[in-house]
Amino acid sequence: MSRPNTRPLSLKTLSLKTALLGAAALLPAAAQADEQYFPLQSYRVGPYAAGGTGFFGGFIDYLTLVNNRDGGVNGVKLTWDECETQYEVERGVECYKRQKNRPGVAAWNPLSVGIAYAMIDDVGRDKVPLITVNHGRTDSTDGRVFKYVFPLLLNPYSESSGIVNYIGAREGGLEKLKGKKIVVLYHGSPYGKETIPIYQLLAEKYGFSVEQVEVPHPGNEQQSQWLSIRRTKPDYVVLRGWGVMNPVALKTAQKVGFPADRIIGNVWSNSEEDVIPAGDAAKGYTAITTQASGADYPVLQEIAKTVYGAGKGNLDDKKRIGSVYHNLGIVNGILNVEAVRIAQDKFGKRTLTGDEVRWGFEHLRLDPKRVEALGAKGLFHSINVSVANHEGEGRVTFQQWDGAKWKVVSDWIAPDWALLRPIIEKSSLAYAAEHGIQVRDPAAEDASN
Amino acid sequence: MEWQFFTEVLVGGLLSGVMYSLVAIGFVLIYKTSGVLNFAQGALLLFAALTFVSLAERGLPVWAAILLTLAAMTLIGALIERTVLRPLVNQPPITLFMATLGVSYVIEGAAQLLWGTQVHGLDLGIDDLPLEIGGVLISSFDLFAAAVAGAMVAALTLFFRYTRIGLGFRAVADDQLAALAVGLSLDRIWTAVWTAAGVVALVAGLLWGARLGVQFSLSLVVLKALPVLVLGGFDSIAGAIVGGLIVGAVEKLAEVYVGPFVGGGIEGWIAYVAALGFLLIRPSGLFGAKPVERV
């Protein structure tokens, strides 16, 4: 414990300190003590507000819990503010320019592919991590090239592999996929098209045939696609949708007589907002997730009791506690906070720079035991991030909609990372060559740490 | 059987087209009487559906929710007429169009502010199960929607022909100055027509809401109505119906039979290609009135 300084100040020292204090007050970029700031480019109005309020609500609820329960991370208070983007790229970039000037920025979490893409060069220049949990560029998994970008838990290729592994398990083994027919119904956008080559690769590897069908944005009409699907008679349909496309897919499937339990949704087709509007047509529908839904996990119960009990909860509707997007926000909060905690262990228990927090993310290793200690056992499995692997080997599980709630119907499944890694590296190295990026050497960096 | 599949695609397209027509009719009502292309029709549709479902979820009986929603739509119509259109009277059409564009953003924001951002399911009690007719599967919900659209067109036709206010609408549509000269109140008629558009928005909002869920995307269905209006004419209810049928059929047939050769996903823009082509041949649409000006 340090002793308080009781020496009387000389006039000279006092003048010097006064001058320094005055100068510091004039410096806008000076970091405030003991605060770590999360700028939130949130979207609470507009077409994607339902997802935005859930995710950012969960994220803020977890930060509030850490502040209220623990007094922050090792005494460093967590702060945040929101800038409304309406999910529009130009607004997201504008928010970035505005929010980045506040001291102590820990990480960016826009939950938007478009905004994240637009920020990649900026975060590299400003040396602050960009977190794209469950989404983002697949090749940003390669941290040797994308030093400041972290598609934590799941990138689109791992998602595709996880879905195929699940279908294989349902059929009694991956070898049973031979001769099966799978249709991928994807959103007509760069996001939707990103997995086209990987499904082709997986089809070749496991011997199933794949047909990939595009639904034009926003996806509120799918009659022709589903009539074609009915004619194809696939064994499964993978739904790679977004927004209104998802309930319309389920309703139109019912309309043409395709069973819901043969439709497997991707990670952006797995929320309550996707199934409730479809009514009975969604019963039996199954979707992939990195975090289970429900409010029975200790961390959720603590949030309900400590945060909402004190009237500080972020969701207007308490019934949404434990929903898919809310739980994703909470898991994202856990990952961000733990990265700060890990970085503090190395750099000191103080406000960290963005680059120091980046180091924390690159050493974010939460095994099932640590996840349990955080009150999140069963909520998500584990994460193991490294310099080379910014995704962190997240496991996936599958939930089935029973008409009222999601029910977990699988174990935690690992995607086929060994198959995917060469494709990811090919793409990331091409990006490095195109942009003149020096590829990092993980072994050398680990040795220097 | 290939012909059965073709018939399914065609019938499915025609029935989808009826859903587009429901939205287009709201545009026609406003344009016919005031010459304003009301871009806020989609936002009105969203507001109506969101208001209805939010009231119903709060335990109000369906009839009460419908009546209250109608009252809200009437109020909005009157407010738009009084605060936006009346001060802009005699301004160029593009000014009025831009004003409705602004109104659409205000209504969308107000809807989310008032009722929240959550997505709602809407069950009208009509199963969307396939009916087999002659070996062809047809959606029972789409048939219901077509029947509703037919009833609405019939009701509007009767209203325009046989009611005093309906005849007033027609008089204003034909010649505003002449209508004024015989003592018709333009303000009252415009308020009434915006209310009528609100009623159409409620009907369309309930049907589209049952199909998509009641959510923000409902306001985007206006994009489906625009090619319908170009094809059918901006001032013809019959044109909105025929235009909708053509657009629906073209979209679905093109997606199924042309899409695979060009990578798919053409449904979103092929209707606009058809509409643009049609504009070149018949600028006022199939049933639209040809403008005649004294020079």
Residue with tokens 């970091």: A31
Cα dihedral A432, A437, A443, A448 in deg (nearest 10): -160
DSSP state of A291: S
Q: Does A323 touch chain B (CB under 8 A)?
A: no
Q: Comparing C-alpha atoms, which of A379, A267, A368, A372 is closest to residue A331?
A: A379
Residue A211 burial (CB count, 10 A): 17
Cα(A103)–Cα(A79) distance, rounded to whole angstroms?
Answer: 11
Specify if B255 maps to a domain: no
A79 φ/ψ angles, rounded to the nearest 5 degrees: -125, 160
Band of the pLDDT at B1, cuts 50, 70, 90? low
Report the domain count for chain B.
1
Residue with tokens 């929101």: A82
- On chain A, the residues whose CB falls within 8 A of the CB of B45 are none
pLDDT digits (tens, 9 = 90+) for B84-94: 988 887 788 89
Band of the pLDDT at B293, cuts 50, 70, 90? low
Asked if A251 lies within 8 A of B255 by C-beta distance, the reply is no
CATH architecture of A157-289+399-415: 3-Layer(aba) Sandwich (3.40)
Q: Which of B16, B45, B255 to mutate to test the interface with A (most CBs of A within 10 A)?
A: B255
Cα(A365)–Cα(A371) distance, rounded to whole angstroms?
Answer: 10
Cα(A21)–Cα(B123) distance, rounded to whole angstroms?
Answer: 65
- On chain B, the residues whose CB falls within 8 A of the CB of A220 are 211-212, 217, 220-221, 224
Residue B68 burial (CB count, 10 A): 15
Helices (H) and strands (E) in chain A, counts: 16, 13
A 209-268 residues inside an 8 A Cβ radius of B: 213-218, 220-221, 223-225, 227-228, 231, 243-244, 247-248, 251, 254-257
Q: Are A360 and A377 in contact, with CB atoms under 8 Å apart?
A: no
User: For residue B82, what are its two tokens?
Assistant: 């009084």
Q: Are B8 and B136 in contact, with CB atoms under 8 Å apart?
A: yes
Q: Measure in Å the smallest separation between the Cα of B52 and chain A Cα atoms.
A: 15
Specify if B5 maps to a domain: no
Specify if B54 maps to a domain: yes
A433 φ/ψ angles, rounded to the nearest 5 degrees: -65, -40
Q: Measure in Å the smallest separation between the Cα of A402 and chain B Cα atoms.
A: 15
Q: Does A281 touch chain B (CB under 8 A)?
A: yes
pTM, entire model: 0.87
Residue with tokens 């093109």: B254
Cα(A437)–Cα(B147) distance, rounded to whole angstroms?
Answer: 62
Q: What is the largest CA-CA distance in chain B?
A: 63
Q: Does B10 touch chain A (CB under 8 A)?
A: no
Nearest residue of A to residue B221, measured between CA atoms? A220
Q: Comparing C-alpha atoms, which of B32, B5, B89 is closest to residue B232?
A: B32
Pairing of strands A209-215, A181-187: parallel
Asked if B121 lies within 8 A of A279 by C-beta distance, the reply is yes
Q: Are A63 and A100 in contact, with CB atoms under 8 Å apart?
A: no
Cα–Cα distances (Å) from B224 to A221, A343, B122, B286, in that order, read 10, 52, 21, 17
| pLDDT in the model for residue B33 | 82
- On chain B, the residues whose CB falls within 8 A of the CB of A231 are 5
Angle between helices A417-435 and A196-206 (to 10 degrees): 140
pLDDT digits (tens, 9 = 90+) for B216-268: 889 888 888 999 999 999 989 999 999 999 999 999 999 999 988 988 889 88
Cα(B140)–Cα(B126) distance, rounded to whole angstroms?
Answer: 8
Please give the sequence-ordered ranges of beta strands (E in DSSP) within A96-229, or none if there are none. 130-131, 149-150, 181-187, 209-215
Asked if A45 lies within 8 A of B16 by C-beta distance, the reply is no
Q: Does B269 touch chain A (CB under 8 A)?
A: yes
| pLDDT in the model for residue A200 | 97
User: For residue A78, what are its two tokens?
Assistant: 């967590």
Asked if A227 lies within 8 A of B123 by C-beta distance, the reply is no
Q: Does A196 touch chain B (CB under 8 A)?
A: no
Pairing of strands A365-366, A236-240: unpaired
Q: Does A378 touch chain B (CB under 8 A)?
A: no
Nearest to A277 among B9, B117, B213 (CB): B213
Asked if A221 lies within 8 A of B267 by C-beta distance, the reply is yes
Containing domain of residue B158, as a range?
A: 23-223
Specify if B117 maps to a domain: yes
Cα(B205)–Cα(B122) distance, rounded to whole angstroms?
Answer: 10
Cα(A391)–Cα(A401) distance, rounded to whole angstroms?
Answer: 27
Q: Measure in Å the smallest separation between the Cα of A58 and chain B Cα atoms.
A: 15
Q: Measure in Å the smallest separation between the Cα of A209 and chain B Cα atoms.
A: 17
Specify if B262 maps to a domain: no
Residues spanned by CATH 3.40.50.2300 within chain A?
35-154+294-384+424-448, 157-289+399-415
Q: Which residues have a Cβ under 8 Å from the Cβ of B87 and sit 6 or more positions away? A: none
- pLDDT digit of tens for each residue in chain A (449 aa)? 333 333 334 444 444 444 444 444 444 444 446 899 999 999 998 878 889 999 999 999 999 999 999 999 999 999 999 999 998 999 999 999 999 999 999 999 999 988 999 999 999 999 999 999 999 899 999 999 999 999 999 999 999 999 999 999 999 999 999 999 999 999 998 889 989 999 999 999 999 999 999 999 889 889 899 999 999 999 999 999 988 999 999 999 998 899 999 999 999 999 999 999 999 999 999 999 999 999 999 999 999 999 999 999 999 999 999 999 999 999 999 999 999 999 999 999 999 999 999 999 999 999 999 999 999 999 999 999 999 999 999 999 999 999 999 999 999 999 999 999 999 999 999 999 999 999 999 988 877 76
The CATH topology of domain A35-154+294-384+424-448 is Rossmann fold (3.40.50)
**Which value does ipTM take for this structure?**
0.86
| Distance between start and end Cα atoms, chain A | 28
Q: Are B173 and B33 in contact, with CB atoms under 8 Å apart?
A: yes
Would you list the DSSP string of A218-254?
T----HHHHHHHHHH--SEEEEE--TTHHHHHHHHHH
Chains A and B form CB pairs within 8 A to the count of 120
User: For residue A160, what are its two tokens?
Assistant: 């595709």
Specify if B7 maps to a domain: no
Residue A402 CB burial class (10 angstroms; 0-12, 13-18, ≥19)? middle
Nearest residue of A to residue B20, measured between CA atoms? A221
Nearest residue of B to residue A232, measured between CA atoms? B5
pLDDT digits (tens, 9 = 90+) for B110-138: 998 999 888 999 999 887 778 888 888 88
Angle between helices B2-34 and B237-257 (to 10 degrees): 150
Residue with tokens 């969307």: B128
Q: Does A399 touch chain B (CB under 8 A)?
A: no
| pLDDT in the model for residue A123 | 97
Asked if A214 lies within 8 A of B122 by C-beta distance, the reply is no
